[in-house]
Chain A
């Protein structure tokens, strides 16, 4: 029962997801719309609570057992709580019950997001440019014909997409564009076919109950 009920639900809701694509009848379309807007949407909201709960549990456990870098878990929990309180009670536009302004200094949710999360997130990825330059220098070797072809294509695209390419030769940008339009599309399409067939096979296996790894482990 503990495995049968979920498998039956997957099958039923799989059909409910599939049928509206092939049956354009008004009743089918309206029912599908109703199911999505009034049922599935709410389930997604609860899924966040699960994710959040897991995150908090990991960090609370770390604090309890004094795991590695446990003080930082306090930082995470406190910043989460402060941001959530400001957002929930201060409102999306800072017009909620909690005041989010002291004089001209505003600390509404959007200001916090834009001045803390954006720079932190953006800079994390900005680091990658340094690592990429270093890795490219150390690892990109023309060891074989294939590797040489890869490097040559990379150089043509790197030069061709920028104004410098036009200065070197007016045909270079067009050649770089041709590489993207023809050989790149051929390769990506070949890979895409394989991925799509795999996705279809996996989807069918899940709906038909052949693929059961999502149920989790254990004999139950």
Chain B
């Protein structure tokens, strides 16, 4: 055992143990740690908002170099603060409308291209898609299964018609594909969660207690 003498390693370890104490039950130590986390996270964010964003993008050009054009975004941005003044709180809709409008407008062609057109291209039965599996003739089989799976999954989520007859069969196959997909997702999720625990234990047993190399 080679316990660390670095005070910051001890602080880190105590922070970790404070959060782990929640496994017994909610307790004051856990609550304290939780609130410290939120405070530090926001303090960190403020630091970089000033040094990386506000100072070089607004303060420097407007106040140090006199570029008066920056008054416009400054004023519009400050309208966010009217949220705290009930009489004029409606003005907060202006900067929200501007930011959200641009983001939403930009998302339309991007979503259509990336999530619909390209995905359709990857689903249809073409020689390019058959070859993309690098599996020879089995590539054709996998492409057909994929094609059927996508159509059946879509039919499962089609609620404008009762799931009877051909649609009923397709939706039943679709739910099978969905269950396999969710099962795979659960398998990976289990790996993810355990990975996080292993990471913490690697720190506690390695960096703090020096038990593992």
Instruction: Assess A/B contact in the complex (Cβ within 8 A).
Output: yes
Residues of chain A having any CB pair with chain B under 8 Å: 2-3, 5-7, 9-18, 20-22, 35-50, 52-55, 57, 69, 72-73, 75-84, 86-88, 91-92, 105, 109, 111-113, 115-130, 132, 136, 146-147, 149-158, 161-162, 176, 178-197, 199-200, 203-204, 206-207, 214-216, 220
Q: Closest CB-CB distance, A31 to chain B, in whole Å? A: 12
CA distance A3 to B178 in the complex (A): 42
Q: Mark B86-129, 1 if CB is under 8 A from A, else 0.
A: 00001011111111111111111111100110010011000000
- In the complex the two chains form, what is the Cα distance from A209 to B60 in whole Å? 37
Query: What are 12 residue pairs bridging A and B, where the CB atoms are less than 8 Å apart in the complex?
Result: A13-B102, A39-B73, A40-B99, A57-B84, A72-B32, A82-B39, A92-B48, A115-B12, A150-B180, A187-B153, A199-B115, A214-B100
Cβ B48 vs Cβ A154 within 8 A: no
Majority-rule SS of A interface residues: helix
Given contacts A79-B39, A203-B104, 7 further A-B pairs with CB under 8 A are: A48-B49, A84-B42, A116-B12, A126-B20, A128-B196, A189-B150, A190-B153
The residues of A that contact B131 with a CB separation of less than 8 Å are none
Q: How far is the CB of B82 from chain A (nearest CB, A)?
A: 10
Q: Is the CB of A204 within 8 A of B39?
A: no
Set of chain A residues within 8 Å of B20, measured between Cβ atoms: 123, 126-127
Is B81 a contact of A53 with CB atoms below 8 Å?
A: yes
Check: B2 CB closer than 8 A to any chain A CB.
no
The answer for the CA separation of A128 and B189 in the assembled complex, in Å, is 10
Q: Which residue of chain A is the closest to B178 with respect to CB atoms?
A: A187
8 closest A-B pairs (Cβ-Cβ)?
A83-B43, A186-B149, A190-B153, A87-B47, A153-B183, A17-B105, A79-B39, A157-B187
Q: Give the residue name and chain of the B residue nearest to A80 (CB).
A: B39
Q: How large is the interface on B (under 10, 10 to 19, 20 to 34, 35 or more residues)?
A: 35 or more
**How many pairs, one residue from A and one from B, have CB atoms within 8 Å of each other in the complex?**
400
B209 contacts the other chain (Cβ, under 8 Å)? no
Residue with the greatest number of chain B CB neighbours at <10 A, chosen from A12, A126, A129, A153: A126
The CA-CA distance from A20 to B102 in the complex, in Å, is 11
Residues of the A chain whose Cβ atoms lie less than 8 Å from the Cβ of B103:
17
Answer yes or no: B54 CB below 8 A from chain A CBs. yes
| Contact assessment for B116 and A193 in the assembled complex, using a CB-CB cutoff below 8 Å | yes
With both chains docked as a complex, state the minimum distance between the C-beta of A106 and any C-beta of chain B, in angstroms.
Answer: 8
Q: Are B47 and A92 in contact (CB under 8 A)?
A: yes
Contacts A187-B153, A207-B101 known; A116 to B53 CB distance under 8 Å?
no
CB distance from B53 to the nearest CB of A (A): 5
Contact B111 A199, beta carbon cutoff 8 Å: yes
Tell whether, in the assembled complex, residue B15 and residue A123 are in contact, meaning their CB atoms are under 8 Å apart.
Answer: yes
A104 to B17, CA, bound (A): 26
When chains A and B are docked, how far (Å) is the Cα of A215 from the Cα of B176?
Answer: 41
- B186 close to A (CB within 8 Å): yes
Instruction: Report yes or no: A129 in contact with B58, Cβ–Cβ below 8 A.
Output: no
Q: How far is the CA of A10 from the CA of B53 in the complex (A)?
A: 24
Residue numbers in A under 8 Å from B9 (CB-CB): 115
What B residues does A161 contact at CB under 8 A?
A: 187-188, 191
The chain B residue with its CB closest to the CB of A79 is B39
**B11 in contact with A88 (CB, 8 Å):** no
Residues of A within 8 A of B108 (CB): 18, 200, 203-204, 207
Known interface pairs A45-B53, A88-B46, A149-B183. Does A17 touch B106 (Cβ–Cβ under 8 Å)?
yes
> In this complex, which of B31, B110, B176, B184 has the most chain A Cβ atoms within 10 angstroms of its Cβ?
B184
* A109 touching B149, Cβ below 8 Å: no
Cβ–Cβ < 8 Å partners of B157 in chain A = 190-191, 194
Min distance, Cβ B181 to any Cβ of chain A, angstroms: 3
Assembly CA distance A63 to B154 (angstroms):
52
Q: Known contacts A183-B145, A187-B181; is A45 also within 8 Å of B54 by CB?
A: yes
